[in-house]
Amino acid sequence: MNHRPFEDWLLDDQPLTLEQERELQAHLRSCPACSAIAESNLALHSVRTVSPAAGFTERFQTRLVQRRQEQRWRQIIGTLILVLGGLALLAWLAGPAIQEVLQSPAQWLTTAVSYFLFILTSIQALSEAGSVLMRVIPNFISPADWLGMFLMIVVIGGLWVVSIWRVTRVPQGV
Ligand SMILES: [Zn+2]
């Protein structure tokens, strides 16, 4: 059987004239080989139309980007809510102190400074006490002396803390 023009027409997938189309249909009815080609052509066409439409990948990507942006926004909003909630809780907890600070900033500043100095002098005193101990230990002092020294340190430390506390404490209602 001669498939010559029909096979080419089918494989080239060219637009045919009505006359050619009629000849082709007649040939296809009698030729299984060419009708197989025609069928595969049809299948290819349908695959082409069913397969991702033009721009599908782009649309998918933009949707992905959109979703990612939404996620980011949700994260930002979530973080904001968390931070604001935390601040509100903090304000509620520290409300009285903040009120005090706002009412008398100068007083609060002096208190803060004196507390800072207190911590500083504490560190200094501790290091000094440490160096004294290091110097004293090699002399093998008796347990009684140890106890006396310990008590003295406690008493002096207590007096010192109390005096600092009384100095930093601002009298109320003045
Ligand atoms: Zn044929």
Give pLDDT tens digits for 4-43.
Answer: 888 888 887 778 899 999 998 999 999 998 888 888 888 7
* Averaged pLDDT, 55-75: 83
* Averaged pLDDT, 56-75: 84
Between the CA of 4 and the centroid of ligand 1 the distance, in Å, is 8
Q: What is the pLDDT of residues 146-167, one digit of tens each?
A: 788 788 888 988 888 888 777 7
Between the CA of 18 and the centroid of ligand 1 the distance, in Å, is 18
* Averaged pLDDT, 83-93: 83
pLDDT score for 99:
72
* Averaged pLDDT, 124-142: 76
Between the CA of 47 and the centroid of ligand 1 the distance, in Å, is 24
Q: Where are the domains of the chain?
A: 4-50, 55-93, 99-168
More reliable by pLDDT, 142 or 19: 19
* Cα-to-chain-centroid distance, residue 39: 56
Q: Pick from 11, 61, 62: which is nearest to 36 by CA?
A: 11
pLDDT score for 18:
92
What is the band of 49 on the pLDDT scale with cuts at 50, 70, 90?
low
Q: Measure the CA–CA gap between 117 and 129, rounded to whole angstroms.
A: 18
Between the CA of 1 and the centroid of ligand 1 the distance, in Å, is 7
